[in-house]
Structure formats: structure tokens, C-alpha cells
């Protein structure tokens, strides 16, 4: 069942942080995700990230170690709130992007509120420092009002001045994410159990049928596993990553596209591996029935 015991200390292994990028419209969230996607790919034969599957992993070096970071590839806090509304905690760290020539705006504040309400640590990316009129010090000043005090001013929030367009300080931003994760969070999961996690997005593909991108949060997801995701179920026939490569096993914090479900789950639906197809179908049927009953009940009111 979901929430299954993860075992003892010895069973837990470090997993990469999962990051959502939020901030005011036009402050550069999409551009930042693009720049990170292009510049920090994991060394594979496939080359770069070629598929938009809703999340991607990049590698960066910290203190001589290669470290991975998972980015949710949907800018803005819609995805974040959709998942939270369903009780799924999908994000470990929020990067709040603020344009240095524009300053703190309503959606900046909204993003900060969402992250703080979810108890998710924040890293501030002060973007567009290449622009005339950029005033990164002013951003730091403005954000103190929201409890975000930069480290250099004696606080504990990391601010990084970047240009998503000119690829300035992107590595420093990735480093700040890892340092924040290491300082504030204990990101470990047991990879040796049946996989559980959350659906990031789902759609019906003309050729492949229902396709869902899932984020594994604990355990290992394997081709051949029977899974339930929301009221969808089925057997994992194939898994594909953001590099367009087939994946046999997906470890904690790994996003993969799953092919083989009989219907399309929604963003924020939790998923889990079950013993048999039959059990997966039964759980999915029961969930559908429960949703139908709830809907009928609410209509009667
Ligand atoms: P979003 O709405 O937050 O996703 O913003 P976008 O990523 O779409 O960026 C909005 C605009 O700002 C686009 O025209 C980008 O090219 C531009 N932009 C983004 N980052 C930078 C930057 O670092 N410097 C400059 N000069 N422009 C940027």
C-alpha cells in the first residue's frame, strides 16, 4: 500500500533533489529551463536531451563528485499546486526566478507563498543580469520583506545572479541547489522496494496509446511491473527517458515516460507497483467507482 515502510537507515540511499522553477511571467523561467537542459546534459551516447517528457535530469559537479538534479520541466506554479492539491509532494526545492530589471511582482510573491506553505526551501535566481537597469541588490532588499534574507546579508537563503539568455552563472545556480539540499534536507530513499511516486503528466499518444511521465520517489520501477496511477492501471511495457532512450530500471528521483497503461492518469496522481495486473485493475476499478459515487453524492446536494 502507499506509505509502505521504507525499511531502516541501512536501506536508504541518497537521491537527487527534485526542483520546480517558479516566478512571475516573463521573468525567464522557460528560458532558464532551456539553458539548463542544453548545458548540463548527462554524458550519454544519445547526446542531448531531445524529448520534452515533463521533467529531466542533469548532472553537475560538486566537490569533485558528479551529482544529479531533477527539474520539473513545466515553468510556473500551476503544476506545483496541482500536485499539492492532490496531496502529492513532488518538489524538494523551489527556484524562484526574479528578473533583475523588473523586481518582485505579484506572481513572485505567490510563488514564495506556495513554496513556504509547502515547507519547500527556496533558492533565488536573480535573472537578466545582462540587461541594462538590472539591479540585483534591489531584489535582495525587496525579498527580505518575505523572509528571504541572502546569505551575504546574514540570512540562510542562497541568491545567485544569472543570465538565462547569456548562460551566466548557471553552474553556480546548480551548485546552490545542491548546497541548499545538503544543508536543509535529508534526501534519501530505499531503492530496493516496489516503486511508488507521482504522475507528472499524461496524454494519449496516437501511436503509443496512453503515455504517462512518472517521477519515481522510492523503490525501483522496472519494465514488466504492474502499476496503478490514479484510476489508470496496466503493465509497464516500455520506459523512455528525456534522452529518447529506453530505460529498464528507474531509481528514486528519476522521471520516465511509461507506456502500457490502459488509460491516462492526471498530473499529481500517485502511482504504485502492485503484485499482479489483476490487483492493479481491481484497485483502479475501485477508485473509479469511488470517484463516481463521490460525484453522484455531490450532485445530489
Ligand atoms: P517566463 O514567462 O518566466 O517563462 O519567461 P521566458 O523564459 O519566456 O522569458 C521571457 C522573455 O525574457 C523572453 O523574451 C526571454 O528571451 C527573455 N529572457 C529570459 N532570460 C533572460 C536573460 O537572462 N536576459 C535577457 N536579456 N532576457 C532574458
ipTM for the whole predicted complex goes beyond 0.90 = yes
pLDDT of residue 276: 75
- Quickly count: other Cβ atoms within 10 Å of residue 113's Cβ: 12
CA 143 – ligand 1 centroid, Å: 20
Which backbone phi and psi does 7 adopt, to 5 degrees? 90, -165
pLDDT of residue 45: 58
pLDDT of residue 159: 98
Q: Are 137 and 110 in contact (CB under 8 A)?
A: no
Closest protein CA for atom 22 of ligand 1: 128
CA 128 – ligand 1 centroid, Å: 7
Grade residue 33 by pLDDT with cuts at 50, 70 and 90.
Answer: very high
Say how many CA atoms lie within 13 Å of 190 toward its Cβ: 14
Ligand 1 within 6 A of 40 CB?
Answer: no
Binding residues: 23-30, 73-77, 127-130
pLDDT of residue 88: 65
Residue 87 has pLDDT above 80, yes or no: no
Closest protein CA for atom 9 of ligand 1: 28
Q: Are 58 and 18 in contact (CB under 8 A)?
A: no
Percent residues over pLDDT 90 in the chain: 72
pLDDT of residue 297: 80
Whether the model pTM is above 0.80? yes
Residue 73 has pLDDT above 50, yes or no: yes
CA 97 – ligand 1 centroid, Å: 10
Average pLDDT over the chain, rounded to whole? 90
Residue 127 has pLDDT above 90, yes or no: yes
Q: Which residue has the higher pLDDT, 169 or 50?
A: 169
| pLDDT tens digits, one per residue of 205-228 | 999 999 999 999 999 999 999 999
Ligand 1 within 6 A of 136 CB?
Answer: no
Which backbone phi and psi does 215 adopt, to 5 degrees? -110, 115
pLDDT mean over 113-141: 96
Residue 13 has pLDDT above 70, yes or no: yes
pLDDT of residue 138: 97
| pLDDT tens digits, one per residue of 164-195 | 999 999 999 999 999 999 999 999 999 999 99
pLDDT mean over 123-141: 97
Closest atom of ligand 1 relative to the 33 alpha carbon: 7
Q: What is the DSSP string of 179-191?
A: HHHHHH---EE-S
Helix (H, G, I), strand (E, B) or coil at 107: helix
Grade residue 150 by pLDDT with cuts at 50, 70 and 90.
Answer: very high
Amino acid at each position: 500500500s502507499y506509505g509502505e515502510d521504507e525499511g531502516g537507515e541501512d536501506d536508504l540511499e541518497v537521491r537527487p533533489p527534485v526542483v520546480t522553477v517558479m516566478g512571475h511571467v516573463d521573468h525567464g523561467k522557460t528560458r532558464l529551463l532551456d539553458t539548463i537542459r542544453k548545458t548540463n546534459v548527462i554524458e550519454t551516447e544519445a547526446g542531448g536531451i531531445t524529448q520534452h517528457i515533463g521533467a529531466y535530469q542533469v548532472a553537475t559537479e560538486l566537490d569533485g563528485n558528479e551529482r544529479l538534479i531533477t527539474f520539473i520541466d513545466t515553468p510556473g506554479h500551476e503544476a506545483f499546486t496541482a500536485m499539492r492539491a492532490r496531496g502529492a509532494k513532488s518538489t524538494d526545492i523551489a527556484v524562484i526566478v526574479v528578473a533583475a530589471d523588473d523586481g518582485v511582482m505579484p506572481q513572485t510573491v505567490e510563488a514564495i507563498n506556495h513554496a513556504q506553505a509547502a515547507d519547500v526551501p527556496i533558492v533565488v535566481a536573480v535573472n537578466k543580469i545582462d540587461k541594462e537597469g538590472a539591479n540585483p541588490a534591489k531584489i535582495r532588499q525587496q525579498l527580505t520583506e518575505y523572509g528571504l534574507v541572502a546569505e551575504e546579508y546574514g540570512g540562510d537563503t542562497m541568491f545567485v545572479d544569472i543570465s538565462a539568455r547569456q548562460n551566466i552563472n548557471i553552474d553556480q545556480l546548480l551548485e546552490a541547489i545542491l548546497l541548499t539540499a545538503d544543508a536543509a534536507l535529508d534526501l534519501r530513499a530505499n531503492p530496493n522496494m516496489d516503486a511508488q511516486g507521482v504522475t507528472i503528466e499524461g496524454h494519449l499518444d496516437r501511436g503509443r496509446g496512453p503515455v504517462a511521465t512518472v517521477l519515481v520517489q522510492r523503490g525501483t520501477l522496472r519494465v514488466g511491473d504492474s502499476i496503478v496511477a490514479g484510476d489508470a492501471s496496466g503493465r509497464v511495457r516500455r520506459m523512455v527517458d528525456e534522452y529518447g532512450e529506453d530505460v529498464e530500471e528507474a531509481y528514486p528521483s528519476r522521471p520516465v515516460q511509461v507506456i502500457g497503461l490502459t488509460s491516462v492518469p492526471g498530473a499529481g496522481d500517485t502511482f504504485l507497483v502492485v503484485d499482479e495486473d489483476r490487483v492493479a485493475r481491481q484497485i483502479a476499478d475501485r477508485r473509479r467507482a469511488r470517484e463516481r459515487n463521490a460525484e453522484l453524492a455531490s450532485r445530489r446536494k
